Amino acid sequence: MKKIFRSLTIAFSLAATGLWAQTPATENDYYQLRTLPIPQDAILEVGGMTVLPDGRLAVCTRRGEIWLIENPYQQQGTAPYFKRFAQGLHEPLGLTFRNGSFYTSNRGELTKITDEDGDGRADHYEAVTQLPIVGNYHEYSYGPLFDPNGDMLVTLNVGWVGYGASLTKWRGWLVKVSPDGKIEPISAGLRSPSSYMYNSSGDLFYSENQGDWVASGKVSQLKKGSFNGHGESLKWTSDPASPLKLTKEQLPDTGEPVATAGEKIPHYQYPACWFPHVLMGISTSDIIEDTKGNLGPHFKGQYFVGDQGHSKVMRMYLEKVDGEYQGACFPFREGWASGLLRLQWGLDGSLIGGMTSRGWSSTGKAPYAIQRLIWSGKTPFEMQEIHSKPDGFEIVFTKPVDPETAANPANYKISSFTYKYHHLYGSPIINAEESKIKGIKVAADGLSARVVLEGAFRKHYIYEIKPEGVKSADQESVLHPVGYYTLNAVAKGDLVTASQFTPFKATAAVHHHEMAEAKAETTKPGKTATKASSAKRVTEMPASWSAPDQVITVGTKPGLKFDVSEVQVQAGAKIKFIFNNNDDMTHNCVIVAPGAVDEVGMKAINLGLKGPDLQYVPASPKVLFHTNLLQPESTETIYFTAPSQPGDYTFVCTYPGHHTVMQGKLKVVK
């Protein structure tokens, strides 16, 4: 549904501007997904995954098993062969193979598993160490990853008790485990660090998920003694083993911009790249570097990052400015079958995705899956890289641009924004502002464009860069015309002077009109999330009512669910509707006309940067009533008169990524 809707939108806008030329390219034209057939008796909820030296794929599952898969590449069309190697583990969420043994982090134990007699089945399970745990459902453990000295790195999720809590030492930390089982804390402030990796330069990175203290998904470098933002882990910094002495009381837990809050926190590590919540994904997972150009030489040296909730792979380009990593993320390939948690390179250069969605809902509907992504050999027209420059950005393209469209400032839109730093869950986008473009200098080879901006840069802000109107020399549109660059520092170097700007002829008025409209929207003074009642959201009982005819209470549950699947009301009855958000995520509740749920859900996703301001409620006659977006552990009551027309209406959460699963039926009867 998502794809159909999007291509219709593109088709419509092309037709409207008279530029209809050819069918727009899709991700599938360049990157194809192949699904591994999984035998029925294997519940392959992938927790960890590794490719063995002989090419077999090893998978540990959230049900506590390890499976070995021969021929995952389905050579000559033959089926892969699955063999269960080990069982009885406790939700292992990482798998490594080293010197003939597997290593995996169970919730409470780092285990070494060996097949000593060589019969293809594990027969020796050895506890390397006990991992700290009190038994809270949210205390996941991930890894291990061997460091160059042969020690093992493990990351420890915080628990959840209405907020992320470090209920035992060293929850919320990256720890190092020596081969003899000693645990040493390395880095603090982690929330849900499901994925971490060394890049080819030997630097360690992890991906983080939105939550309390964490405004949005992000990828950060992990350094010894650094603090990554989540306050609860600081509980243990008075311990002599702690490599940092920061306390929670020192944190500016005020909701001020994270861009400036970080400057006040000793040892705070700014993310190398934010993955703006919903605009890019909703739950960043595995990071993998493409050192060989497996997905095309144009992306060699870049990273691919999974998103569990959006069932997609994103792309990340990093550069070093002032000695620190920073860079941009881009959409890459959506439409995976389930929640994408693990990424590995196959020996054939395909990108293998290991998936699970139980309890962590995803747009891919399968409960679990393994798929491989294969490059077709064709090069998409994309922003290959974005570089910081002293006066703006340099966009490198994968193919030469059409100099006419690339030189026109109206064909780009650049905005910047940041988030709040606080102990609350997530953050709205704040301080959004559109940049004015002074001019463009297109490189002589057509492969890059310097976009020169007016005004000062905003340090540690996220820059949204959209070359929407730029065409390739053969008139293709950019496949994904958006990237988010995290500008921690502005690079030094040569400036572009006005005389060097590439001249261009003014094009159709439609661009200027769109620009003006977009600008008007983004430069409005910052609005707060709470708005007064509207006709579709009446928060006080209407004066004409003496009492409601019916009171309905709907709550939320983990896993993107309402706590009731169906409620029934009388046509035309006066309804008091209480919505309690008891979950650990942000939700709203929108009542929509029969059959309109997908349409309204997609409109909410397409609100983009405007979404948070609008509570992710799109303007549509099919939206009948709605609440605002509610933070975890909060409630809102609205009043409405039930439709006079009987039928099956839907109540749905339109927070992006939720609408396909988070629905219930509002049955209106005579």
Report the interface residues with Cu ion, using CB under 5 A.
587, 653, 655, 658, 662
Please list the helix, strand and coil fractions of the chain in percent, rounded to the nearest 5, in that order.
Answer: 10, 40, 50
Q: What are phi and psi of 511, to 5 degrees?
A: -65, -45
Edge to edge, the sheet with strand 574-581 lists 561-562, 550-557, 574-581, 634-641
Q: How far is the CB of 449 from Cu ion (least distance, A)?
A: 39
Please report how close the Cβ of residue 629 comes to Cu ion at its closest, in angstroms: 8
User: Which residue's CB is nearer to Cu ion, number 280 or number 440?
Assistant: 280
The continuous run of DSSP H or E covering 383 comes out as: strand 383-389
CB of 661: closest distance to Cu ion in angstroms? Answer: 9
CB of 484 to Cu ion, least distance (A): 23
Distances (CA, A) of 150 to 146, 176, 554: 6, 10, 52
Q: Which is nearer to Cu ion, 101 or 553 (CB)?
A: 553
Question: Cα(335)–Cα(425) distance, rounded to whole angstroms?
Answer: 27
Minimum CB distance to Cu ion, residue 552 (Å): 18
**Residue 198 structure tokens:** 């060394």
Name the token pair of 143.
Answer: 């890894």
User: Beta-carbon neighbour count of residue 562 at 10 Å?
Assistant: 21
In the complex with Cu ion, the residue whose CB is nearer, 308 or 435, is 308
Residue 113 C-beta: closest distance to Cu ion, Å: 38
Q: Give the shortest CB-584-to-Cu ion separation in angstroms.
A: 11
User: Considering beta carbons, is residue 472 or 663 the nearer one to Cu ion?
Assistant: 663
Of 443, 334, 432, nearest to 397 by C-alpha is 443
CA 249 from centroid of its chain's CA atoms: 30
Cα separation, 216 vs 655, whole angstroms: 14
Contact 105, 142 (CB under 8 A): yes
3-class SS at 611?
Answer: coil
Token readout for 285 is 């997972």
State which residue, 548 or 558, has the beta carbon closest to Cu ion.
Answer: 558
Name the closest residue to Cu ion (Cβ): 653
Task: Give bridge partners of residue 373 from the DSSP assignment.
Answer: 33, 351
Q: Which amino acid is at 435?
A: S
Shortest reach from residue 310's CB to Cu ion, in Å: 14
Is residue 136 a contact partner of residue 161, using CB atoms and an 8 Å limit? yes
Residue with Cβ nearer Cu ion (299 or 655):
655
C-beta closer to Cu ion: residue 193 or 612: 612
Distance between CA atoms of residues 410 and 420, nearest Å: 31
Tokens 């006709």 -> residue: 535
With b for 16 or more beta-carbon neighbours within 10 A and e for fewer, the 144-162 pattern comes to: bbbeeeebbbbbbbbbbee
From the list 182, 181, 209, the residue with the least C-alpha distance to 195 is 209
The nearer residue to Cu ion, 312 or 658, going by C-beta atoms, is 658
Instruction: Tell me the three-class secondary structure of 155-168, residue by residue.
Output: EECCEECCCEECCC
Sheet holding 152-156, edge to edge: 141-146, 152-156, 174-177, 183-187
Q: What is d(CA 82, CA 518) in angstroms, rounded to the nearest whole number?
A: 53
- The minimum distance between CB 662 and Cu ion, in angstroms, equals 5
The residue among 38 and 630 lying less far from Cu ion, judged by its C-beta, is 630
Q: What is the largest CA-CA distance in the chain?
A: 81
Minimum distance, C-beta of residue 423 to Cu ion, in the bound complex (Å): 21
Measured from the CB of residue 586, what is the shortest distance to Cu ion in angstroms? 7
CB of 284 to Cu ion, least distance (A): 18
Q: Are 146 and 154 in contact (CB under 8 A)?
A: no
Task: Give the residue with the Cβ less far from Cu ion, 273 or 666.
Answer: 666
State which residue, 288 or 662, has the beta carbon closest to Cu ion: 662
Provide the minimum distance between the beta carbon of 14 and Cu ion in the complex, in angstroms, as a whole number.
33
227 or 655: whose CB is closer to Cu ion?
655
Q: Which is nearer to Cu ion, 400 or 558 (CB)?
A: 558
Cα(314)–Cα(469) distance, integer angstroms:
22
Helix (H) or strand (E) holding 6: helix 2-16
